[in-house]
Amino acid sequence: MLGVPLYPGAQFLASYDAGRGQRYYLFGSATPFQDVVAYYRSMLKQRGELVFEEPATHEFDVGRFREETQAFPPGVTVKDFKSEASEGYPNPKPGGQPARFATIIQVVPVTER
């Protein structure tokens, strides 16, 4: 449905209106950032780009960005939420497991517009 593979075991957290008829979707994983990035490198057959070192954020472009009709380029962004300063992204589901996610995956689906 999203046009990209979803990391195995990733949990859906929320979706948001990105504007211009687009949505983006957030997923959480207890898997370390480096392993999730390696998965997407393999599955998408591209290196992607490390756009921030702290907190580590890696982006993969998966479709053409049309500025006149899209708010965000289609892609997968992987963000490291586990560090000395953070125990991870809190699970928004009360009592949900894991209590915190080491890695957050944002997907902006490929749209034909």
pLDDT tens for 15-67 read 999 888 889 999 999 999 999 999 999 999 999 999 999 999 999 998 878 77
Q: Let me know the angle formed at the C-alpha of 73 by 113 and 57, rounded to the nearest 5 degrees.
A: 160
Asked if the structure places residue 44 within a domain, the reply is yes
Closest listed residue to residue 64, CA positions, set 110, 6, 17: 110
- The count of domains in the chain is 1
Residue 2 lies in a domain: no
Residue 37 lies in a domain: yes
What's the confidence (pLDDT) of residue 113? 47
Of 32, 111, 21, which Cα lies nearest the Cα of 79?
A: 32
Residue 83 lies inside a defined structural domain of this protein? yes
Which comes out higher in pLDDT, residue 105 or 72? 105
- What phi and psi, each to the nearest 5 degrees, are found at residue 57? -140, 125
Stated pTM of the model: 0.91
Residue 113 inside a domain? The answer is no
pLDDT, position 111: 66
The residue that leads in pLDDT, 111 or 104, is 104
> What pLDDT score was predicted for residue 21?
80
Tell me whether residue 6 is in a domain: no
Q: Which two tokens stand for residue 6?
A: 């979803």
Instruction: Judge whether residue 91 has pLDDT over 60.
Output: yes
Q: Is the pLDDT of residue 68 over 90?
A: no
